[in-house]
Amino acid sequence: MTHPHTSSQTAGPYLHIGMTNSRSLARIAGPEARGEHIHLECRVQDSDGALVTDAMIEIWQANADGKYCHPEDVQEKLDDPACRGFGRLATDGNGMCVFETVIPGAVHGNDGHMQAPHMNVSIFARGLLKRLATRIYFAGNAANQKDAILALVPADRRDSLMAVLDPSRPGWWNFTIQLGSENETVFFDI
């Protein structure tokens, strides 16, 4: 007996159904958290530049001292109870969402070398069979020059991983996730 092939289930467009206030986590680090407090505004666009209004973004980051809020992070660095290190938001009608957090500290890579401050990001959206994984680095940070993961990305593509400071709004960083086209964000196969 043979069975016909059926298409795989994609993520979405139903992400918003499960994104009630109890499951949305915009505040990664509260006002009491140590470090430089920021707002991170993320925008998701498809390959034609149209806004993706039904995507979901998850962020996992270290606290300002470079320690993750996770039992497997046993570094002798300070915990920060005001920094949960995780956020999850759906994009709005403008294809955007805003996280409240702090600039993460540098963390050790698997090779023992320090990695530049960054955030680990997962994107879920209609048409995707599985999540896309990327990183957000902070433009202008001197540690970016020595980051081993960023060095794996061709120099002309590294800007797609950079959040940029908004000159009109102090403390606001902007990051665009481009799904497809020649300006596509670099995604990692993990």
From first to last of its 190 residues, the chain has per-residue pLDDT tens of 566 655 555 555 555 555 555 567 999 999 999 999 999 999 999 999 999 999 999 999 999 999 999 888 888 888 999 999 999 999 999 999 999 999 999 998 888 889 999 999 999 988 888 899 999 999 999 999 999 999 999 999 999 999 999 999 999 999 999 998 999 999 999 8
Question: Which parts of the chain fold into alpha helices (H)?
Answer: 148-151
15-178: which CATH architecture?
A: Sandwich (2.60)
Residue keyed to tokens 């009608």: 93
Indicate the helix (H) or strand (E) that contains 161.
none
Q: Is the preceding omega at residue 104 within 30 degrees of 0, hence cis?
A: no
Percentage helix, strand, coil, to 5, in the chain?
10, 35, 55
CB-side neighbour CA atoms (13 Å) of 140: 6
The domain spans of the chain are 15-178
Radius of gyration of the chain (CA): 17
Which of 80, 56, 45, 61 is closest to 135 using CA atoms?
A: 61
